[in-house]
Each structure stands twice: as structure tokens, then as C-alpha cells.
A and B are shown apart, each in its own frame.
Chain A
Amino acid sequence: MAERTVRVVVAKPGLDGHDRGAKIVARALRDAGFEVIYTGLHQTPEQIVTTAVQEDADAIGLSVLSGAHNYLFKRVLELLKEKGAEDVVVFGGGIIPPEDIAALKTLGVKELFTPGTSTQDIVRFVRQHVRAAV
């Protein structure tokens, strides 16, 4: 039986309004054949996790350029755990210094993409690391 299409939620958590990258990632993933739900701006971690659970998402991509990444990524991971949705792959990007990247990956963020990343890198990542839930 064919796998269903991988579903990715692309989200902008917190108050940060810089959505150029998130929109490009959403579009690139859609063009690559994934199902994409773009949440829009100013989402709380609660809203994002609720959307991901409701939409049966296989992955959440978070975009944070405001410096609030440590709190926001951590909160999303915590909430996924609370909801028993720990197998949702969390990845993201934005303005995140190297030492914070390392710390976030230790917490469970699968990958973080920083400025200069090509959309193809992100598409490849999702293809390789995200499976549609059976």
C-alpha cells in the first residue's frame, strides 16, 4: 500500500513577523509534493501543537528570527510530549547562533537551517527524515 503524503506544518511561533523564509520553505515543500499547512504569524506554541495534532502532521517546521528560539522550540517539544505526539519531527530555522543550535538538537530538534540554506537542502531533509504516520 502506498504511503500517504507527508504532512508538514510550517509555523511562526511567538511575536516575530519575519515570514519571508517560512513562506518560501512552505512553498518549496509544497512544490516538492508534500502537504503543507502554513499557520501564519504570531502563533503560540499551544496553537501550533494543536494545529499539528488536528492536522495529523508528521513534522513541524518552526521559523524564529526574533531571538526567542530557545524558549519557543523547547515549549513546542514539551507540548508535543504532553500530547503524546513525540514522533512528530521538529525542525526549523532562522537566526539561531551555533551554540544554541547544538543545545536545541540535544533537546530533540532534529535539524536547524540557518541563513544561506538552499530550499533543496530542506526538501532533502524532509524526504530523508520525515515519514508519514501509518
Chain B
Amino acid sequence: MSDTREPEAKRRGSVGSKTPERSVRFESLSGIPIKALYTPADLTGKSYEERLGAPGEYPFTRGVYPTMYRGRPWTMRMFAGFGCPEDTNARFKYLLAQGQTGLSTAFDMPALMGYDADHPRARGEVGKEGVSISTLDDFERLFADIPLGEVTTSMTINCTASVALAMYLVVAEKQGVAWDRVGGTMQNDMLKEFIAQKEWICPPEPAVRIVTDMIEFTSKHVPRFNPVSISGYHIREAGSTAVQELAFTLADGLAYVDAALARGLDVDSFAPRLSFFFDIHNDFFEEIAKLRAARRMWARFMKERFGAKKPESMRLRTHTQTAGVSATAQQPLNNVARVAIQALAAVLGGAQSLHTNSYDETWALPTEDAVTVALRTQQIIAEETGVALTIDPLGGSYYLEKLTDQMEEAALGYVRTIDAMGGMIRAIDAGYPQKEIADAAYRYQLMDDRGEKVVVGVNKYVMKEERPINFLKIDETVELEQIEKVRRFKASRDARRVERRLAQLADACTNGQNLMPVLIDAVRDYASLGEVADVYRRVFGLYREPIIF
């Protein structure tokens, strides 16, 4: 009952007071004030069981599995994709040979927005931001020689995720792999598209209907597959604070659960396969606290709001990625250090899966050398540092536990606001999360501009002359070749069959049946990604965003 209660000033007056505190902001990146010292007094009010519990047990604060990395390390899953399918297939194989343990696919903007490579709106964009995919043939080439019964694949694709899933399942079928052995994740989180990543075709209601179709379909036919990766990463990258990222992501999750329940599904039939995806930014302890708070909050929502019975329904499993926005174009090798520290935070935060950025990614897609360093970063953490030898090693830290509590409380405030608006879809219609993000992004930029936040190499420790580095360049011939391949593919099909399938798809869209079986039939008969997207455009209409800045 002594030192821990002494006021700050008195404590500062003791040994070491010749060094008064620096004039920096003592607060986390999301603005939570940070004290000089945390003590047991910061953690009164809750028992260990209430606040933490054991790993693998409600409320899962310390981790979703009983053995965590002692049983199996996190999946090292490097996001990859560029050029034509053969280019990406080669990068997939390279990364697997270098020890990554799962695939993660980046698609180009035309595929992400529902345009085939030969569409006028794809001009200049083919293969630039990810791999060019328009047809089933592209998908087969993308996964050539990759056993889909043995490797899990994550696909970062959203408004056309239904097509990607259909194509993936047909490729598996062609490999002789039964769907109940197929494992992977579709990002397929449309709510965060309207909020942050901005890849859309139709408005929120039909978009969520398609997501729900995929949740329902996979729960019955592809049980090892995660049909959604409810994402905070993009929300954070668009400029939100860590607290907003946490709140908006979970609120999106609540909306998907609501939608699936409204469909008549039993919560325990689909909730175990809802997965998540968080950003890992610079504030080391805040990011660890964020993941722990996320697990605890989600477990409580699933149990108390939705009455889930299975522990698997309450477990927040998450992929993580080191923060793209924290990387600098100046002195790019510094990004290796940033990524290493962020990756460590992801591991100490108990992530199930991790992508580490390459140091050259502020300039271009990663070169082979750069992506190797990024993968090795994870391997060094796993094999050399010892941090994975025990579960939740930072659990019990006065600072970390207090920060976890504070983030949970702050995030709950936002969730209550969104609840009061009628849920996330209503909040999106009202422009609420979009405005919060734009405001936070602007505030952050002003702090950067004024030097109130130090960015090493950019507003402090700046170097006039920098050694140039070599970037990956996507050859312009990729676009021409892909266009040619798509044209030939389309010319070689039974065009009438495709037309019939697309008409059936349009019917399924309007009569409310689950789209997936009809879509898979259409893909088997060689309907292209753009053609399916065109059906969605025609039937559901185009989304127009509110102009908010």
C-alpha cells in the first residue's frame, strides 16, 4: 500500500529527477495517455479468470488455442501476386520452397473490380497491382502443380470473391480434391470495402447478401474454408486509429452474424469459420493490446449477444499484416527494422497467420530479394528469439493489461454508437465510419507535417542523397498477352451455354436463392469473372459512394 499509490510528481522527485521528462507526447498512436509507470493498482476490479483466462478458453484473451505456438507456429503467409498467372505461380512456388506455410493471393485491379483483362476499363491496370485473372484457365495456371488438398490459400478479393471461390473449387475438383478437404480464406469482407478499401460493384445490401450466400454455402460444403476475413487492416491503412480499427472491424463482424442469423442459420453452424485480419502498426504495445482486446470482445459478443454455445464460435482467429502505411519511400532499408518490430508484436499478440511487408513496397510490388528478407524475418522470430516457447509471454504486464482494458473500453464506445445507428450497414449509409477515418487520417497527416510525430528518414534523420534500389517492374507486354489469352479463351467456349448459365445466375440473383451453386456451374462452363460481375452490375445496380473528405 505504499509506492504504487504515490502521485507522479513525488515519484519523479526521487532518484533520477535530474532528468525531467522529455517534451514528447506521452500517448499511444491512438491517443491513449501513457503513464510513466504501471502497477498492480492499475489492474484492480477483475479476477484473472474474468480478464484473461487460459489460452484456448473463454474469453480467449491469452490466445485462441490451448497450445498456441508450442503446438504449431503461426502460418507464414506472404501476400503475392503480379503479372500473368505464370509469374505468380512461380512466386508462390518460390515462397513455399523458402519455407512459407500458406499461400496468399493478390489480384490485379481489373479482377478486384470485376473487369476482364480485355475490358476498356482494365487498360493500363492488367497485372500491375496483383495477378491478372479473368478466366478459369487463368486460375488453373495460377495454381498449377500446387496441391489444393495440402496447401491453404488466402485470397484478397472482395466484390468478386464469389467468382474466385467458384474458380478455386472447380480447380480443386479438377485436381481430384474433394471440397471438404479444401482449406483457405476468402477476404470477402464487403463492409470494409465501403468503409476503406473501396472495391465494390453493387450497394451494401446485395453485397452482404452475396457474402452471406458464401458463408452459408461453405458452412455446408467447404467446412475447412473461411468464407470471410473480417478486416481491420484496410480500415487502419485508410487512416483510422487502432481503437477505431478494433471497433469498426468487430462491428462489421456483428453485422455479418446478424445477416447470417436473419437467413435462418444457426450461429454455431457458421461462426467458427468467421476469421479476422488486423493491421500491425508501429505502436508495439498498443498493437498487442489490440489483438488481446479483440479476442476478449468478440468472445463476449458471441456468447452474450448471439448466444453461441460452441467455444469455436467465440474464438477470434486472425491473420495479421505489418502496416503498409508505416513504411517509408525514403531510406527503404529502414523498413526492414520496422517490419521486424511489427512482426514481433503480431507474434506476441497471438496472431494465427502473418504477412510481413517487403522493404521496397512503398515503390513497387516486392522483388524476390525483398520478399525473402521479409519471410526470413518471421523465421528468425520463430526459430531464434525464443518468444514462441511460451504462450502469451507478456500476459500480466501491468501496462499491457491496462492498455488492453482501455482499448476494449474505448472500442466498445464506438460499437455502442454504431449499434445506436442501427448497425454497421446503416452507419455506412450515414457516412459515419468513412468520416471518422478521413478525420483521423487528416489529423495524423498534420502531425506528420508539423513534425509532431517523428518519421525516421522522412522528417528526422533525413538524408539528402540516397542510394537507389532496384524495383520490380511489370512489363507492358503482360497486358497485351493476357488480353490475347482472354480473347482466345472466350472464342473457344460454347457461347450459348455460357449465356444460359449467366441468365440462370441473373435469375438466382433476383429470386434470392443461394448464388454459389449456380455460379459454380457458370464457371465450369467457362463464364469469365467480368461476365459474372456484369450480371451483378445489371441486377443489383452500381454503388455510388458519398463524397466525404
A40 contacts chain B at the CB level, 8 A cutoff: yes
- Interface status of B13 (Cβ within 8 A of chain A): no
Distance, CA A19 to CA B128, complexed state (A): 18
B473 nearest CB neighbor, chain A only? A97
A15 touches B121 (CB 8 A): yes
Partner of A17, one of B198, B329, B441: B198
Q: B329 touches which one: A16, A71, A115 (CB < 8 A)?
A: A115
Contact yes or no, A20 B237, CB < 8 A? yes
In chain B, positions 322-377 with a C-beta closer than 8 Å to chain A are: 325, 328-330, 362-365
B interface, over-half SS: loop
Cα A24 to Cα B446 with chains together (Å): 10
Interface residue? A41 (CB, 8 A): yes
Among A44, A71, A72, max chain B CB count under 10 A is at A71
Across-interface contacts of B99 in A (CB, < 8 A): none
Asked if B445 is an interface residue, CB under 8 A from chain A, the answer is yes
Interchain CA distance A44-B123 in the complex, whole Å: 10
Segment of A51-59, A62-70, A78-86, A126-134 engaged in the interface with chain B:
A62-70
A40 to B445, alpha carbons, bound, how many Å? 20
Report the minimal beta-carbon distance from B248 to chain A, rounded to whole angstroms.
15
In the complex, residue of chain A having the shortest beta-carbon distance to the beta carbon of B109: A15
Chain B residues near A70 (CB, 8 Å)? Answer: 124
B329 partner residues in chain A, CB cutoff 8 A: 114-116
Complex: A40 Cα to B112 Cα, angstroms: 18
Residue in B125, B198, B458 whose beta carbon sits within 8 Å of that of A68 in the complex: B125
Q: Binary interface profile of A, 13-39, with partner B (CB < 8 Å = 1, else 0)?
A: 011111110111011100000000010
**Contact between chains at A95 and B125 (CB < 8 Å):** no
Closest to B451 in A: A118
Residues of A within 8 A of B548 (CB): 23
Interface residues on A, range: 20 to 34
Taking a contact as CB atoms closer than 8 A, the residue among B330, B442, B474 that contacts A67 in the complex is B474
Q: Is the CB–CB distance between B125 and A41 below 8 Å?
A: no
Interface digits, A94-122 against B, CB 8 Å rule (1 contact, 0 not)? 01011000000000000000111011100
Per-residue CB proximity of B106-127 to A under 8 Å, as 1/0?
0001101101000001111100
For B115, the closest partner residue in chain A by CB is: A15
Give 1 or 0 for each of B359-400: 1 = CB within 8 Å of chain A CB. Answer: 000111100000000000000000000000000000000000
Residue numbers of B with Cβ under 8 A of A are 109-110, 112-113, 115, 121-125, 128-129, 193, 197-199, 237-239, 325, 328-330, 362-365, 438, 441-442, 445-446, 448-449, 455, 458, 468, 471, 473-474, 544-545, 547-549
For this complex, 25 residue pairs linking A to B, each with C-beta atoms less than 8 Å apart, are A14-B125, A15-B113, A15-B125, A16-B129, A17-B199, A18-B198, A20-B239, A20-B441, A23-B442, A23-B548, A40-B544, A66-B125, A66-B128, A66-B129, A67-B474, A68-B125, A72-B124, A97-B471, A97-B473, A114-B329, A115-B329, A116-B328, A116-B455, A119-B446, A120-B449
